[in-house]
Structure 1
């Protein structure tokens, strides 16, 4: 093994995101997984939303939707700019 044959490491941001206990393994699978992983990720988000509804009732249903409002604003701005 030569001195320049170092194993490649993921970037620092990826390592930090992948280190988050609950969502890190999902983010790693999304980054390194196959093409069908998106369906599993959407199903996981819907299941977590359903679990929050069962656990907290009506606030568990509408608070995640309210938290996605800035994301939707960003998507609408990007669509209106043509990107």
Structure 2
């Protein structure tokens, strides 16, 4: 064991996801930050959803919720598998 431990390199998919300008920054803060960063991340996501509803009207409100349907199906399948 050496005196200095090198930081572990992230997998390619994480490096690519964290490189996305807005969502990657939020995800990096949520993954590596403190417990309060989860609240800030959730607030930022709901604020972006609200801004899209104000900017685009009803499609801006419905389309993000519709995009979350496959994610919720995946979560329900993972819960049912144990």
* Distance in 2 of aligned mates of 1:50 and 1:31: 24
Q: Could you say which residue in structure 2 is the equivalent of 1:64?
A: 64
TM-score (norm 1): 0.81
* Distance in 2 of aligned mates of 1:34 and 1:21: 21
Which structure: greater helix fraction?
2
Q: Could you say which residue in structure 1 is the equivalent of 2:80?
A: 80
Unmatched runs of 5 consecutive residues or more in structure 1: none
RMSD: 1.9
Unmatched runs of 5 consecutive residues or more in structure 2: none
How many positions carry a matched residue from both structures? 79
Please say if 1:13 is aligned against 2:18.
no
* Distance in 1 of aligned mates of 2:54 and 2:18: 28
- After TM superposition, what 4+ stretches of structure 1 lie above 4 angstroms from structure 2? none
* Distance in 2 of aligned mates of 1:40 and 1:10: 26
TM-score (norm 2): 0.82
TM-superposed CA distance for 1:65, in Å, is 0.5
